[in-house]
Amino acid sequence: DVKVTQSSRYLVKRTGEKVFLECVQDMDHENMFWYRQDPGLGLRLIYFSYDVKMKEKGDIPEGYSVSREKKERFSLILESASTNQTSMYLCASSTRQETQYFGPGTRLLVL
């Protein structure tokens, strides 16, 4: 079975803090993705990566950056957290041209 894990299920941070969300997959997938999910807005793609050290902006990259130093790990970074970044963050991975598998999600609350 494909396994995608995320470092935290719940996270509370303060405005202005730097926040790291980690995602690890164990299936040697090339592609990895970060989405956020908000009520009434569905899932929105923030960034994705199709190889180590490669990254592409998704639909809403503003306020976020990512890092992919190893194939199995894709990190989402909030350089200076703001209250409008309170959300559910979802990581996914896939092989090229194949099905995406999601992690359990991280609920981030920025106070």
Binding site for another protein (CB under 8 A): 4, 30-31, 33, 40, 42-43, 45, 48, 50-51, 56, 58, 90, 92, 94, 96-105, 107
Q: Which is nearer to another protein, 48 or 64 (CB)?
A: 48
Task: Compute the distance between CA of residue 108 and CA of residue 95 in angstroms, rounded to an integer.
Answer: 28
What does the block give as tokens for 103?
């992690």
Q: How far is the CB of 88 from another protein (least distance, A)?
A: 8
- Smallest distance from the beta carbon of 2 to another protein, in angstroms? 9
Q: In the chain, which ranges are continuous DSSP H helix?
A: none
Residue with tokens 């306020």: 63
Q: Which is nearer to another protein, 16 or 104 (CB)?
A: 104
CA distance 47 to 21: 13
Minimum distance, C-beta of residue 100 to another protein, in the bound complex (Å): 6
Q: What sign for the dihedral angle of Cα 58, 105, 19, 26? A: negative
- Whichever of 39 and 69 has its CB closer to another protein, that residue is 39
